[in-house]
Structure 1
Amino acid sequence: MPLTVKGPRSRAARYFISATSGVLPILLGVVILYWQAERTLEQSTAQTAQEAVRQFDLMLDNTAIAAQALLPLAGKPCDSAAKLALREQVTRRPFVRATTLSWQKNIYCSSLFGGRYQSPVNPDDYVDGRLWLMKGNPVTPDTALLVYRLVQGDQGAFASVDGYHLTNALRLISRYAYLVLHVGPNWLGADGKVHQGALPTFAVAPQRLASERYQYSVEAGMPEGEVWRYMQARYPALFSLVVFFGILAGLLAHWLQKRSSAPTHELQRALGANEFIPYFQPVVRGDTRQWAGCEVLMRWKHPKEGLVRPDLFIPLAEDSGLIVPMTRALLRLTAAQLAPHAARFSPGFHIGVNITARHCQDMALVQDCREFLAAFPPGQVTLVLELTERELIEPTETTRRLFEALHQMGVMIAIDDFGTGHSSLGYLRNFNVDYLKIDQSFVAMIGADALSRHILDSIIELSVKLDLGIVAEGVETAQQCEYLVAQGVDFLQGYLFGRPLPCDEFIKSLGIVE
């Protein structure tokens, strides 16, 4: 079916549009994948920084406990009891490499030298007087140390973390992100060396996270080009899919442009030729699984193209206003096909038909429904009009009178695809509806997506509170069926119970013998 009212374009214009239609999805797909990869790497570095801070806080917690335990010994003689206490903290506390005592800013007793050791203390070396990232000490001059200092008056106790533990944490916490431990003017990288001066800069996903308990921070990030490397490593299948859809879009655009007739003219021609026919999809009761009715779906039986999908012509029919006479013709054909078999239907057999905003602009719909119901014995069928949301239905005086007249003759109103449109709640507030139809996108995520399940449960709960019937569309698995039945859903519709069928096959499925 043509999608333009203009005449055929030149070959060059058609190829240009086709190429553009193919390239744009590819470019858009690449942009989306790049954005997704960037977001993923940002989340990865943020989690890496958080884990690094957690590990370093744990190490410093051990040093703080050791220093707190040793502080009362500061100023006392460096005798065998003091030496034993120093070595005991090194032995008992994970990550603690060495412990020392100071008196009046002079270290005089250390676990590293077997006891007595003299060295002055410069408080300015320590960030906030507590933390110092050292390049090494006389025992291991080239090995980093993170020293924790605890002072009370002239007393001082020190506990240090070996650079081996610090470097291992920087290397092992993340496979992709680079990590830097920053303490005052010094910083430690994954090479195990303590550096001074400017910190390294990261082009991709930079993160800085400071500890809330100690005076240090962690820098994390990745080098330039990491986003593309990540995409190449993780998204090859998605790249192929993007290219495939791009080619498909280009071919589709080229095919659509080859169709020369104007859409409204083609729709008018098809309407006059009675090419719009009803297909019927069963609706079953949730408690018994017995057929309670059906939804009437419009199909276009094109003489050349065969069956045309409704998403290719329904929007055009609505935009052109032809949807109203098309629906009127559909109602008449449905009545003609089903009325001869009405005696075999269970009483109150539901027949659902979609309507749009165009149908609600005057009272002609009342007469269409009256003629439809007149074709069946009284009470044998219940006509259900399903409000779609492709166009917004305004709550005017005409619509209020229309729905009131429909209800008086026994016609019920349902909101189709509830929960996906922008006006569903507005329809509940402004119109007296009888049913909610849950969109198949929520049903499809049962057992797979928690958010969609919560939305589904909320819709069901809302229908109970408002005393509305509820129909679940798109039921395809037994798991979905059991879940919906357990939630008290009244009616079910989907491929699990039957696909849309032409009248003859639908009647055979119902077990009706002509």
Structure 2
Amino acid sequence: MRNALIPLITAVLLFITGVFILNMQLWYSTRAERLEGAIYAVNNINNILDEASHATHLAIDIAGKGCDPEGQFQLGTEAALQPHLRTILIVKGREVWCSSLPGNRGLLARIPKMSAASLFLAPAEDAANEQPFLVYQTRFAASRVLVTISDQHIREALNAPLEGVIYRLRVGNNVIGLSGDIAALNASTPPSGQVNSKAYPFSIIYNQPPLFSVFRLVSLGPGILIFILFISCAAAYALVKYLNKNATPAETLRRAITNGEIVPFYQPVVNGREGTLRGVEVLARWKHPQSGYIPPVSFIPLAEKSDLIIPLTQSLMRQVVANMNAIAHMLQEGFHIGINFSASHITSPDFVAECLKFKESFNHPALNLVIEVTEREPLNVDEDLVHRLNVLHENGFVIALDDFGTGYSGLSYLHDLHIDYIKIDQSFVARVNAEQDSTRILDCVLDLARKLSLSIVAEGVETKEQLDYLNQNNITFLQGYYFYKPVNFQELIKILLSKPKVKVAVDDATREKEDVHDIVN
């Protein structure tokens, strides 16, 4: 878990750091762009007001000469030649005295009140066309010159080709934007960005970009985002390689269990008299990504020493249930499935509940589930252990003593526990050959089993001599390479589909005398 968590955390932190740096760069860049846009708008408005200032000087000269037809013509020419001016008015009191329009008209619904401001925004209600406008005002003597500028020209000056930003013209406490009428500035929410004109009394206000924006990251920096993700993943991969290179064997095995690399193999159990397949023993194999299948002798001792044997067995149990349920229609009644349990697992608090859940998970109604207790590991036989095994007996489980004769206290187990059958270790079967004395030890083991009324399974049958000897001694159930080697689930399906029939070398007279104890029926 540690070796998986550290690279993941590293990758996430690298990605977050990279995104943070990219976001800040884009934020500063966007702020600078918006500031440049505001300065650009200020310059545009300045240029428009420069035209109004020039027209004002002309109007003052005309006012000093009297507003004759020639003066009106000059005002009209000035308004027509300047691209952004609407009207030029010379106002005395509240009346238009001279105008750039014929008849001294001003296209104003009402003349704005006298004020000290040289620049102000007039609402739509003050214009004949009901559109707001900007007024450049200059007072002289008892008169004043009003130069009106259309809202259309103001909005064009504010319209910058930047996404997400809104520029508005501020004059005093009034503002005008890209649409709508004149509005009062909201004092409770001051503008986040503002650029003041140095030449005229106005400002350009605008909204600053948010500090963090997913849209900004995706739209402005997609390539860099992908690069950051690639760097983060590459760093995590390199760290995984480094940590795995220096991982302990226990950590490597723990990761293999988590990743589902420990898979079940099935050792067929054959009826020696009939040559039929009657069950399987579940074995563990490590399906290593680089080394292929690794036998259990290489990792089971490590699992037992590092307290990984229980999660390893639990993983096998889940996989066996899934496999057997997939082929439930192919399994005959009484087909037995044996799984080896360690002493630490048997004595764990949840062992009985796990076994009962294991049994309930099968779809087949008549499977014989065998709990194989290994003799290679010491098992403390007490009342609690006897009670556990009795509960499992009552729920239909069969108890077998595996590797009999090779471990700590097999005879004690036979005396204290309710053992249904013993499995003779392959080291005894391997001694059987053509020599007369080769079966002496095995004869003693078989004689003991008969006296205790125990059923027997012989492991490691590899030769015809061994098969003949076991059949002659009424050992019905056999397993070994003489019949089948341990196979994966796909190979087991092929064996079941072929409906195997193993040849046995026992004559009919001998077969009639056999007194066989069926371990699965």
Could you tell me the TM-score, scaled by structure 1's length? 0.48
Rg comparison, structure with higher value: 2
* Higher normalized contact order (CA 8 Å, seq sep 6+, divided by chain length): 1
Could you tell me the TM-score, scaled by structure 2's length? 0.47
